[in-house]
Chains A and B, each alone.
Chain A
């Protein structure tokens, strides 16, 4: 379903003043960053000879595919196209990776949609991961006041918790609890003064074509366990993050899934509830592809090109789905998945805590 020569793109976003630029500067000064192109929004000299630094403006365009809610960062498409052209003309050294920094408190979704939908981008690049910096001192307030802050956490693969040395231990714990409530599947790492290993940020790698199925399966197992733990802790059927209507739940499907029916179902859900389907990840047992699972993920109404795995990590052939949603009842997902995904209702279960 996807080739293997795609250039990985890491999206770095974060709350205002959360130390995003500090992390960026630290990363770019580490050894072994040759071939990494950083795209930043704001000017600011990152004067390193072996790096390319590009800037982009905030310009938005509607995607001409009838999908009005899908905004694409036109400037980003242009920039990535130019980079490809320059590389093809050997005007720049081979590009190994792109690192995009977005403005603080921006909605990261348009950047993700650009990376997932613009044809020229999709054919050359792939999202590697979304990394969000969250500062331990101010984040609780941001989460209460800014929907974008909640969204950033909801779409994150990695969270870098900054300024933990300046915050009370109790409030750091509370923040970690809040993050877990919004996105139980995210990995949270504390960093001080931007000191972070490049590998921890850049090698999210979960949805790469060469990821080992074992890693992916254990990610889903961990995510399901995290969600179950949240449910248990809150005595809710599925967990509602305190102070927001964002919730998460996971499902297991115990029969092979027809791909056509499944993608039809996903199209239907995305058409109605795309805005509220903040993040969806699935490890799918596709009926006519028994040798290995297909990994899918979606950000709002946009589905990332599916990734096929060559083998199953264990005898467990169930499909696993993880949802981070705003105000979507799990029951409606289950009912419509059974109906339009052509799956027996009894085969769809929630993992035990």
Chain B
């Protein structure tokens, strides 16, 4: 009879371990067995759990803390771009893009697709010409080429890609989209605007360009990036079938190194295509596994402020196209949102609702209030994503209704986004952005997120520093700060990035803090966050990342 092992697998000792457990914030040791913390405290507290076969990790006095949870990202896109796509900067000219395409085409297997991006959306008019189409088609060497722009809303496709997608001279524009045609000749240019993008994207998906194996590799690559920043859990904010399958596939192979919570879109988002809504919900248990939790639905209520597609209570600055009183519009009515929320609650799904403008926030809260009034209390936590422009009267409603504020993307300090918002609605209104302190004061559950790849780098340390300083951590916009009264203390911000994000993601009992019984998701840092000036937090390097006690990242020296 074999002896059942009773000793801890791993002991972390000699650390400055910040537990994010308010009852015992600092300890020096944590013992792990079978992926869970089994003892926490000082040497004397963990001694009993340690045996000869326990692996000891000496933290050398460094700071450690729970793994970070990213409440909002798009887990497939970063890795896919890294591994399989032709990358070029968005300031590339048409000729530079053509040169890059030609280089890729020369190396590509016959008939294979070339997918890449992102071209600047300022090129749209110039791309929509016979001249540009001729240049792209010559560079493509007959390959189907699909290029995406920096907004992910528009595409530029080669003639071969259009042919495969069945787009011909007489093809009608889809609803909410335009198939580009040269203004003089009327010939197809390959430019596909908004919903027209889906025609070529679906052809690409149908062509089997991305295999299940490639999808898994892309997601694994993205998660590797997250792990390197100390992230051990995330919510994928638009989980289509290939993403769910890739996550499940990785978990089945024992290589998924983060908690993956999935928010399935109720309809195709503008940048992803395939099964959505009820049909997708019906598949969710087929993708559920130990670490994959398809427990949220994603809905988009509006667009973004910079493009004047977000819905606000007050009008945008007048412009010739929209006139004096344009406030943006929501994509769902409140009754439609109520109907979806009712359905989600029946299915046990939390809702993640994209609301970029304050009117969208109000409408989402109204819908949730109706549902709460009739359905009574629930364990589900609905998210208002990008909870950034909020009417003052709505702040407390988040708390009253138990709605989580999804703080993403990482732009609560001066950025180019803020500049675009100023142009759209004036400086004074644009700067009433991210009332984080107000939300915190009334007890709102707040969770930090990146919205990667909207933000090109999912580095949470930038977000953590910026939430404390309200200044740009990269040094852009020197001397400028955004609504500094809304700054939060480091202790609060670390909760927002760990335990509170875990709670909002439905993982609060599993991870987010270092407590006995919880998953041994622990990160080791190269600096002690509480002992350094706040403007150095962004320079933090993660030395090691442990997921369920297993080392999934170690920094190369």
Known: A336-B373, A340-B370. A268 touches B336 (CB 8 A): no
Set of chain A residues within 8 Å of B334, measured between Cβ atoms: 264, 267-268, 271
The verdict on B49 contacting chain A, using a C-beta distance below 8 Å, is no
The verdict on A66 contacting chain B, using a C-beta distance below 8 Å, is yes
Smallest Cβ-Cβ distance to B374: which chain A residue: A332
Set of chain B residues within 8 Å of A106, measured between Cβ atoms: none
**B386-413: contact bitstring with A at CB < 8 Å (1 yes, 0 no)?**
0000000000000000000000000000
Taking a contact as CB atoms under 8 Å apart, the answer to whether A328 and B366 are in contact is no
Taking a contact as CB atoms under 8 Å apart, the answer to whether B369 and A271 are in contact is no
B338 in complex: contacting residue of A271, A329, A335, CB < 8 Å = A271
Taking a contact as CB atoms under 8 Å apart, the answer to whether A271 and B335 are in contact is yes
Task: List B residues 326-346 near A (Cβ within 8 Å).
Answer: 334-336, 338-339, 341-342
Smallest Cβ-Cβ distance to B341: which chain A residue: A272
Known: A271-B342, A272-B342. A336 touches B374 (CB 8 A): yes
B374 in complex: contacting residue of A66, A267, A328, A340, CB < 8 Å = A328
Taking a contact as CB atoms under 8 Å apart, the answer to whether A336 and B370 are in contact is yes
The verdict on B371 contacting chain A, using a C-beta distance below 8 Å, is yes
Task: List B residues 205-251 near A (Cβ within 8 Å).
Answer: none
**A259-271: contact bitstring with B at CB < 8 Å (1 yes, 0 no)?**
0000010011111
Alpha-carbon distance between A329 and B370 when the two chains are bound, in angstroms: 13
Smallest Cβ-Cβ distance to B345: which chain A residue: A272
Set of chain B residues within 8 Å of A340, measured between Cβ atoms: 366, 370
Alpha-carbon distance between A272 and B367 when the two chains are bound, in angstroms: 9
**A294-336: contact bitstring with B at CB < 8 Å (1 yes, 0 no)?**
0000000000000000000000000000000000110010011
Max chain A Cβ within 10 angstroms of own Cβ: one of B366, B370, B371: B370
Taking a contact as CB atoms under 8 Å apart, the answer to whether A267 and B373 are in contact is no
Taking a contact as CB atoms under 8 Å apart, the answer to whether B335 and A339 are in contact is no
Set of chain A residues within 8 Å of B366, measured between Cβ atoms: 268, 340
Alpha-carbon distance between A329 and B376 when the two chains are bound, in angstroms: 10
Query: In whole Å, how far is A3's beta carbon from the nearest beta carbon of chain B?
Result: 27
The verdict on A273 contacting chain B, using a C-beta distance below 8 Å, is yes
Max chain A Cβ within 10 angstroms of own Cβ: one of B335, B342, B366, B369: B335
Query: In whole Å, how far is A137's beta carbon from the nearest beta carbon of chain B?
Result: 38
Alpha-carbon distance between A31 and B534 when the two chains are bound, in angstroms: 93
Taking a contact as CB atoms under 8 Å apart, the answer to whether B369 and A273 are in contact is no
Taking a contact as CB atoms under 8 Å apart, the answer to whether A267 and B369 are in contact is no
Taking a contact as CB atoms under 8 Å apart, the answer to whether B371 and A272 are in contact is yes
Set of chain A residues within 8 Å of B338, measured between Cβ atoms: 268, 271-272
Alpha-carbon distance between A22 and B334 when the two chains are bound, in angstroms: 47
Alpha-carbon distance between A66 and B334 when the two chains are bound, in angstroms: 13
Set of chain A residues within 8 Å of B367, measured between Cβ atoms: 268
Set of chain A residues within 8 Å of B374, measured between Cβ atoms: 269, 272-273, 328-329, 332, 336
Alpha-carbon distance between A267 and B366 when the two chains are bound, in angstroms: 12
Taking a contact as CB atoms under 8 Å apart, the answer to whether A270 and B335 are in contact is yes
Smallest Cβ-Cβ distance to A337: which chain B residue: B373
Taking a contact as CB atoms under 8 Å apart, the answer to whether B339 and A271 are in contact is yes
Smallest Cβ-Cβ distance to A265: which chain B residue: B370
Set of chain A residues within 8 Å of B341, measured between Cβ atoms: 272
Alpha-carbon distance between A268 and B374 when the two chains are bound, in angstroms: 11
Set of chain B residues within 8 Å of A329, measured between Cβ atoms: 374
Smallest Cβ-Cβ distance to B367: which chain A residue: A268
Query: In whole Å, how far is A119's beta carbon from the nearest beta carbon of chain B?
Result: 20
Query: In whole Å, how far is A300's beta carbon from the nearest beta carbon of chain B?
Result: 13
Query: In whole Å, how far is A303's beta carbon from the nearest beta carbon of chain B?
Result: 12
Known: A271-B342, A272-B342, A340-B366. A332 touches B373 (CB 8 A): yes
Task: List B residues 293-338 near A (Cβ within 8 Å).
Answer: 334-336, 338
Set of chain B residues within 8 Å of A268, measured between Cβ atoms: 334-335, 338, 366-367, 370
Set of chain B residues within 8 Å of A332, measured between Cβ atoms: 373-374
Query: In whole Å, how far is A94's beta carbon from the nearest beta carbon of chain B?
Result: 40
Set of chain A residues within 8 Å of B373, measured between Cβ atoms: 332, 335-336, 339
Task: List B residues 344-371 near A (Cβ within 8 Å).
Answer: 366-367, 369-371
B335 in complex: contacting residue of A267, A335, A336, CB < 8 Å = A267
Smallest Cβ-Cβ distance to A264: which chain B residue: B334
Alpha-carbon distance between A328 and B367 when the two chains are bound, in angstroms: 17
Task: List A residues 158-174 near B (Cβ within 8 Å).
Answer: none
Taking a contact as CB atoms under 8 Å apart, the answer to whether B336 and A272 are in contact is no
Set of chain B residues within 8 Å of A328, measured between Cβ atoms: 374
A-B contact pairs, 27 of them (CB 8 A): A66-B336, A267-B334, A267-B335, A268-B334, A268-B335, A268-B366, A269-B374, A270-B335, A271-B335, A271-B336, A271-B338, A271-B339, A271-B370, A272-B339, A272-B341, A272-B370, A272-B371, A273-B342, A328-B374, A329-B374, A332-B373, A332-B374, A335-B373, A336-B369, A336-B370, A336-B374, A340-B370
Query: What would 16 more interface pairs be, CB under 8 Å, given A267-B334, A268-B338, A273-B342?
Result: A66-B336, A267-B335, A268-B334, A268-B335, A268-B366, A269-B370, A270-B335, A271-B338, A271-B339, A272-B338, A272-B339, A272-B341, A272-B374, A328-B374, A336-B373, A340-B370
